[in-house]
Structures are given as structure tokens and as C-alpha cells.
Amino acid sequence: MRQSVSCGLALGLFTLLPLCKAAADDLPVRKAGLWEMKVVRAGSPMPEMTMQHCTDETTDKEMSTAFSPMSKEICSKKDIQKTATGFVSDSVCGIAGLSITSHSEIVGDFNSAYTVRTTAHSDGGPAAMKGDHVTTIEAKWLGACKPDQKPGDIVMPNGLKMNVHDMDKLKAFLPRQGPK
């Protein structure tokens, strides 16, 4: 089970990495408050994952800045373009023997709701991550963050709470580079 959750989170992070550099420059900052983010992988035995993320303008910008160096290191291609309905992103990223080529379409607004649909092809890495994947992230603004939350807090489906400012905890979910 832990491996499935780790693979899911790793794939989710890979899905978002190509967007992070672009987010700092091109994507609008999300409205401050509590966002619900439902992640669904089509054809996956893993159930959909719904998490909540408390954010503010500073945290959204910091997330882009924090992931940007990692994105620069592992992505050989990161293109984003504005479209009539939102944005389109194409990327090629790789880490620890895993290569992911992805195409993402982002529609909606960053004040009430948006959807990110990513089609990706993965080579290498754990068997659970290989092949073609379609991941959809449906995000909706719920209102103000809860009194016990601070910007950057993410509450996972199992109740685990982490903060994006603690990047080392998130890095633990990425696949490790094996010995050469």
C-alpha cells in the first residue's frame, strides 16, 4: 500500500513539475484559501485521491520557486502556451531511470475552479509507473483555510498533514537514484 501511495504521489509530483517553472512566469496565482484537489488516474487500480491545500499568494509563488530548480535539473523540455480556454504544457522529464513525456491542458480559472488533464508516457522506473497514463486534477476553492491550517498545509486523504515549506518531506516520495 505504501508503495502504491508513493508511486501515486511521485507521479503526481512529476505531473506538476513541468508546470511549476511556468507557473512562476505564466500561470495566475490561485486565490488564497482552502483548495480541494481531486487526483484521478484513468485505468489505475489506485483509488482517486482527494487532498486539501491551504494557500496564499506568497505560498503559491514559493511553490513555483521551490520546484523550479528541481524542474530545471530533471526536465529537458518545458513548454507552456496560453490558449483561448487556459494553458497547454508539454514536457520531457526524467529521474532515477524514469522518463516521462507529458502533455497537460489546464482550463478554468484560479479563483474558483480549474482542471488539469495530463496525458503522459513513462519509461523505466517501477512497474506501476510504466506505460501511458491519464491523470486529471480537479481543483475547487472551498473558502478560507481552517483555523488550524497555515498557508502551505496539505492534508492527504489518510489525514496526514504536511507543509510544502518542508520540501525534504516531499522529496522522500520521489524515486531514489540507484547505484551506478
pLDDT average, residue stretch 20-42? 77
Q: Mean pLDDT, the chain, as a whole number? A: 77
Mean pLDDT along residues 150-171: 81
- In this structure, is the dihedral angle defined by the CA atoms of residues 151, 157, 159 and 163, taken in order, positive or negative? negative
Q: Across residues 140-148, what is the average pLDDT? A: 96
Does 7 have pLDDT greater than 60?
A: no
Provide the 3-class DSSP secondary structure of residue 53. Answer: strand
Better-scored residue on pLDDT, 106 or 68? 106
Q: Is the pLDDT of residue 76 over 70?
A: yes
pLDDT higher than threshold 80 for residue 57: yes
> Is pLDDT at 110 greater than 50 in this prediction?
yes
Q: What percent of the chain has pLDDT over 90?
A: 34
Q: Who contacts 138 (Cβ-Cβ below 8 Å, separation ≥6)? A: 37, 38, 40, 113, 115
Higher pLDDT, 52 or 3: 52
Q: How far apart, in whole angstroms, are the C-alpha atoms of residue 145 and residue 127?
A: 37
H or E stretch at 142: strand 131-143
What residues contact 133, with CB distance under 8 A and at least 6 apart? 11, 41, 42, 43, 44, 118, 119, 120, 121, 122
Q: What is this structure's pTM?
A: 0.75
